[in-house]
Amino acid sequence: MIIEKGARTAANHRRPTFYYRSAREGLRDLLSNLPDPASAGVLLPAFIGWSPREGSGVFDPVASLGIPADFYELNHDLTVDVTAMSRALERRRYRAVVLIHYYGRTDPHSAQVRDLASAHGVTLIEDLAHGFFSAAVGGRAGSYGQAAMYSMHKMLPLEEGGMVVYADDALVAGQTSTFPALAGEVLAYDWRAIAEARRANFLRATALLLELAARRSDVELIWPDLAEGDVPQTLPLFIAGGVRDAVYERLNARGLGVVSLYHTMIDQLSPEFPASVAASRAILNLPVHQDVPTGSVELLVDELESALVSLTGATL
pLDDT in tens, 67-87: 999 999 999 999 999 999 999
pLDDT in tens, 13-43: 889 999 999 999 999 999 999 876 666 899 9
Q: Is 41 helix (H, G, I), strand (E, B) or coil?
A: strand
Domain ranges of the chain: 17-187, 192-312
Average pLDDT over residues 38-65: 93
Q: Would 17-187 and 192-312 be classified into the same CATH topology?
A: no
Statement: the pTM of the whole predicted model exceeds 0.85: yes
pLDDT of residue 50: 94
Sign of the C-alpha dihedral, residues 182, 188, 190, 194? negative
Task: Count other C-beta atoms under 10 Å from residue 62's C-beta.
Answer: 22
Q: pLDDT-derived band of residue 10, with 50, 70 and 90 as boundaries?
A: confident
CATH of domain 192-312: 3.90.1150.10
pLDDT of residue 288: 98
Q: pLDDT-derived band of residue 194, with 50, 70 and 90 as boundaries?
A: very high
Rounded CA Rg of the chain? 20
Asked if pLDDT for residue 316 goes beyond 70, the answer is: no
Instruction: Determine which helix (DSSP H) or strand (DSSP E) holds 127, and give its type and residue range.
Output: strand 123-128
pLDDT in tens, 226-268: 999 999 999 999 999 999 999 999 999 999 999 999 999 999 9
pLDDT of residue 37: 64
- Decide the pairing of beta strands 41-45 and 94-100: parallel
Rounded (10°) angle between helices 82-91 and 110-119: 10
Strand partners, 15: none
- Type of residue at 65: L
pLDDT of residue 264: 94
pLDDT of residue 40: 86
pLDDT of residue 38: 62
- What percentage of the chain carries pLDDT values higher than 90? 89
Task: Supply the mean pLDDT for the chain.
Answer: 95
Give the distance between the most distant pair of CA atoms in the chain. Answer: 77
Q: Is 46 helix (H, G, I), strand (E, B) or coil?
A: coil
Average pLDDT over residues 295-299: 95
Q: Is 217 helix (H, G, I), strand (E, B) or coil?
A: coil
Average pLDDT over residues 207-220: 97
Average pLDDT over residues 277-297: 96
Asked if pLDDT for residue 11 goes beyond 90, the answer is: no
CA distance 67 to 96: 11
- What percentage of the chain carries pLDDT values higher than 70? 98
CATH value of 17-187 in 3.30.70.330, 2.60.40.10, 3.30.300.130, 3.40.640.10: 3.40.640.10
pLDDT of residue 108: 97
